[in-house]
């Protein structure tokens, strides 16, 4: 009689194979859902970057059509926006030489670029128009990406290198100590995806360019035969998008 009771007690405490299978299936579904969620989120972030860049292109073109100047480079901006831009006219105004140049402090066309676009009603947000050198602060003096730690930089580059694309462009990347382009934001596969969706997938040709952050490892080879290092899974890329 005791043996029967003990056997009954053990059977109550044990887990059947069916129950174990159900638990494993549930765990698998949870893991799959989490992985799918991460993939969906990353895809949404990349699509958001593509959308934002196109908005910046349209905004810049609209600004140029209206004022016959590039934002940031406009030499009579203070006549339109006064102290909303800056108390000192020379700080607000650019030099109208056709380039968006990096300055220092209040005299910085690269940061005034975003402020002018906003004051003219072409982009949303509120930007100070000031910054020391490459000192970027997303939401304060430059737009931010939906991916944490990322933002946008506007500038005319007169030369091309493994980290900089020549031309007047908007670039996107991560900010390390607020300095551009030290931060890492995109993997080479993600950079290649953006390049393919907006251009030709070639980091050197067309209107979209891929470049290395300070960490390197995004682009390999030499111009004109550079390619994305798609075996590298770390965030190592900076992207440049021509405005003109």
User: Which alpha helices (H) appear in the chain, and where do they start and end?
Assistant: 2-13, 17-67, 77-81, 89-92, 109-119, 188-198
Residue 225 and residue 200 in contact, taking contact as beta carbons nearer than 8 Å: no
Please tell me the predicted confidence (pLDDT) of residue 35: 47
Write down the number of H helices and E strands in the chain.
Answer: 6, 7
Question: At 126, is the secondary structure helix, strand, or coil?
Answer: coil
**What residues contact residue 217 under an 8 Å CB cut-off, 6+ apart?**
188, 229, 232, 234, 236
Q: How far apart are CA 124 and CA 219, in angstroms?
A: 33
Please tell me the predicted confidence (pLDDT) of residue 67: 97
**What residues contact residue 128 under an 8 Å CB cut-off, 6+ apart?**
111, 115, 140, 141
- How far CA 133 is from CA of 137, 155, 196, in Å, comes to 12, 12, 32
Residue 187 and residue 168 in contact, taking contact as beta carbons nearer than 8 Å: no
Q: Which residues of the chain have pLDDT under 70?
A: 1-15, 18-20, 22-25, 27-39, 176-183
Strand partners, 208: 241
Residue 2 φ/ψ, nearest 5 degrees: -60, -40
Please tell me the predicted confidence (pLDDT) of residue 134: 77
Give the Cα-Cα-Cα angle 102, 169, 125 (nearest 5 degrees): 75
Residue 52 and residue 152 in contact, taking contact as beta carbons nearer than 8 Å: yes
Q: How far apart are CA 216 and CA 175, in angstroms?
A: 15
């Amino acid at each position: 009689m005791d043996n029967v009771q003990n056997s009954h007690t053990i059977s109550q405490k044990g887990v059947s194979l069916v129950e174990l299978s159900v638990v494993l299936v549930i765990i698998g579904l949870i893991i799959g859902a989490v992985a799918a969620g991460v993939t969906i989120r990353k895809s949404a972030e990349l699509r958001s970057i593509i959308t934002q860049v196109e908005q910046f292109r349209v905004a810049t073109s609209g600004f140029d059509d209206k004022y016959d100047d590039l934002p940031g480079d406009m030499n009579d901006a203070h006549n339109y926006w006064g102290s909303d831009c800056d108390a000192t006219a020379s700080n607000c105004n650019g030099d109208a030489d056709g380039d968006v140049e990096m300055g220092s402090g209040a005299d910085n066309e690269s940061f005034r670029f975003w402020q002018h676009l906003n004051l003219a009603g072409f982009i949303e947000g509120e930007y100070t128009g000031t910054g020391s050198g490459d000192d970027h602060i997303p939401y304060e003096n430059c737009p931010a990406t939906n991916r944490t730690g990322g933002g946008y930089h506007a500038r005319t580059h007169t030369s091309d290198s493994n980290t900089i694309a020549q031309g007047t462009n908007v670039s996107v990347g991560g900010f390390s100590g607020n300095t551009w382009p030290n931060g890492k934001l995109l993997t080479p596969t993600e950079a290649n995806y953006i390049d393919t969706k907006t251009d030709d997938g070639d980091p050197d040709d067309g209107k979209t360019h891929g470049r290395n952050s300070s960490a390197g490892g995004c682009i390999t080879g030499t111009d004109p035969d550079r390619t994305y290092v798609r075996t590298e899974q770390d965030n190592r890329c900076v992207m440049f998008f021509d405005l003109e």
